[in-house]
Amino acid sequence: MRSITPGLVLAAACAIATAQAEEAPLRVGSKRFTESYILGELAVQSVRAAGGEATHRPGLGNTAILVQALANGSIDAYPEYTGTILREVLKTDENLAIDVLNERLRALGFAASVPLGFANGYAIGLRRDYATGRGIRKISDLARHPEVRLGLSHEFLGRRDGWPGLKSAYGLPQPDPRGLDHGLAYEALASAQVDAIDLYSTDAKIERYSIAVLEDDRDYFPRYDALFLHRIDTPGLHPRAWAAIRALEGRIDAPAMIRMNARAEIDKRDFASVAAEFLGTRPAGAMRSLREAVFAPDFARLLAEHAALVFGSLAAAVAVGVPLGVVAARFRIVAQPVLVATGLVQTIPALAMLAFLIPLTGAIGVWPATIALFLYALLPIVRNTHAGLLGVPAGIREAARALGLGARATLAYIELPLAAATILAGVKTAAVISVGTATIAAFIGAGGFGERIAQGLALNDNVMLLAGALPAAGFALVVHGLFETLERTLPFRAK
């Protein structure tokens, strides 16, 4: 019998490690607009059709969040555009060929590849009748019409290739534009709430809403060829999955992308079905009713994710908030600093908090979302603990001391039981607030019912919005009911 040498053991271990690395699911991210959702689904479904494993983390937010997620390993690749890479990732105003672009990206540990076959550039659009009546055909014409009201997407307002540079390049006199979600901008334009919006050249609603796309007569915008931005090691770590994604190269022209966007935005088909229809794996499903949308196959997963976020953060908030409330009640000198600090957290907008925690934690998804929910839950728990303990009559404390009870025993056996009803009310308030706030966590890939709300906003789809909002509201009512039952059944309930 042949003996097993250390070399054979090492070779076998390397082979197993390589096989495991190849089998690791490819994690694909996407931004929070229709086309990015669809391209993310196309990548994932292509991998699965080839027998590989892939997961989609949809609607993660803007370019900065996706690049951060790529850098810290939360995702392996996501659909992007050459112009965005140049301006937002490399921070350059040059127009570089793909090989030079990749040389620059190498220093960041990234690469751009798999050109899909179409370009989707930024443009400025006006209602056709409005533009015709004022003789506006080019972006430079806007300089003669300071009355034009601009409604621009939030990302465009802050991008290097967005509003600040556009205003400077064309000398535009318009005041600061109104910030709009891209999914709502067309409806705002159609209802004359704004006169001009930024749009993508492959948007399906351009023709439907009879929009005049202005000529970029000074060539301000770079070319935005669609491809995938990924870490340099992604193709090597996921060879089977990446081979499937490479098969998409050159397969999608602009008309095909516009049709897919239309299937989602106008026909109200879900992103997965639109991608499957293009790949020929199955026809796109029919428009769903509200009931079907609410109880779709992802309902159990979203509920579990939402519950984990709420109860995980709530448990941590109780573990920290109750002792903080006790300290604030015991030592009056620290009461105001503690209460003010927990109150100030509530003034920070949820999205700003999440954006701050992503680089701080070096991750997207569950961890920054849980920390944010924990911080927001502290105030009602700390305040109610503090108030409940201060509400214990001084005579009862004196009686406890007369019986020989020390400070700790008085707290444990007298004060906390008497304050328990007030403390539990604070925990209940924190829990119900957390259910609603947790929907924001979907914008950084933490899941939950907010995932549907984000998709509904991207599509301006009321059914999808309600499919996320109604279960979240129902979950809040269930949580409230559970705490009401607990208050009635526990021995410290108020008489």
- Which pLDDT does position 493 carry in this prediction? 53
Q: What is the residue whose two structure tokens read 């309930």?
A: 493
- Which pLDDT does position 495 carry in this prediction? 44
Do residues 370 and 452 both lie within one domain? yes
Q: How far is CA 236 from CA 3, 18, 23, 29, 243, in A?
A: 33, 10, 12, 18, 10
Do residues 177 and 41 both lie within one domain? no
Give DSSP secondary structure letters for 112-177: EE---S-B--EEEEEEHHHHHHHT--BGGGGGG-TTPPEEEEHHHHHSTTSHHHHHHHHT----SP
What residues make up the domain containing 385? 299-489
- Which pLDDT does position 494 carry in this prediction? 46
Q: What is the residue whose two structure tokens read 């080019």?
A: 138
Do residues 317 and 403 both lie within one domain? yes
Q: Do 40 and 81 form a contact (C-beta atoms < 8 A)?
A: no
Residue 165 has pLDDT above 50, yes or no: yes
Residue 462 has pLDDT above 80, yes or no: yes
Do residues 178 and 281 both lie within one domain? no
φ, ψ of residue 33 in degrees (nearest 5): -150, 160
**pLDDT tens sequence across 340-382:** 999 999 898 887 888 788 888 877 888 999 999 999 999 999 9
- Which pLDDT does position 285 carry in this prediction? 54
pLDDT above 70: percentage of residues in the chain: 93
Strands (E), 222-325: 226-231
**pLDDT tens sequence across 185-212:** 888 999 999 999 999 999 988 988 889 9
Most distant pair of Cα atoms in the chain: their distance: 92
Do residues 60 and 134 both lie within one domain? no
The most confident of 1-5, 217-221, 289-293, 352-356, by mean pLDDT: 217-221
Do residues 308 and 420 both lie within one domain? yes
pLDDT above 90: percentage of residues in the chain: 61
Q: What is the residue whose two structure tokens read 């602009």?
A: 254
3 state DSSP class of 25: coil
Do residues 348 and 444 both lie within one domain? yes
For residues 65 and 80, give the distance between their C-alpha atoms in angstroms, rounded to a whole number: 13
Residue of higher predicted confidence among 285 and 232: 232
Do residues 346 and 482 both lie within one domain? yes
Structure tokens at 297: 């196959």
For residues 365 and 55, give the distance between their C-alpha atoms in angstroms, rounded to a whole number: 14
Do residues 378 and 417 both lie within one domain? yes
Over the chain, what is the mean pLDDT?
Answer: 88
Do residues 392 and 476 both lie within one domain? yes
- Asked whether residue 3 is assigned to any structural domain, the reply reads no
**pLDDT tens sequence across 396-448:** 888 888 888 888 888 888 888 999 999 999 999 999 999 999 998 888 888 89
For residues 264 and 72, give the distance between their C-alpha atoms in angstroms, rounded to a whole number: 31
- Which pLDDT does position 16 carry in this prediction? 43
- Residue 47 belongs to a domain with what CATH number? 3.40.190.10
Residue 107 has pLDDT above 80, yes or no: yes
- Which pLDDT does position 13 carry in this prediction? 46
3 state DSSP class of 240: helix
- Which pLDDT does position 154 carry in this prediction? 86
Do residues 311 and 434 both lie within one domain? yes
Environment class of 147 (CB within 10 Å of its CB; exposed 0-12, middle 13-18, buried 19+): exposed
**pLDDT tens sequence across 18-64:** 444 455 899 999 998 899 999 999 999 999 999 999 999 988 888 98
Do residues 191 and 148 both lie within one domain? yes
- Which pLDDT does position 3 carry in this prediction? 44
Domain total of the chain: 3
**C-alpha closest to that of 369 among 424, 298, 414, 312:** 312
Q: What is the side-by-side order of every strand in the sheet holding 77-81? A: 54-57, 26-29, 77-81, 226-231, 110-113
Lowest mean pLDDT among 163-172, 252-261, 285-294: 285-294
Q: How far is CA 335 from CA 330, 380, 392, in A?
A: 8, 14, 17
For residues 440 and 375, give the distance between their C-alpha atoms in angstroms, rounded to a whole number: 14
Overall average pLDDT of the 481-488 stretch: 89
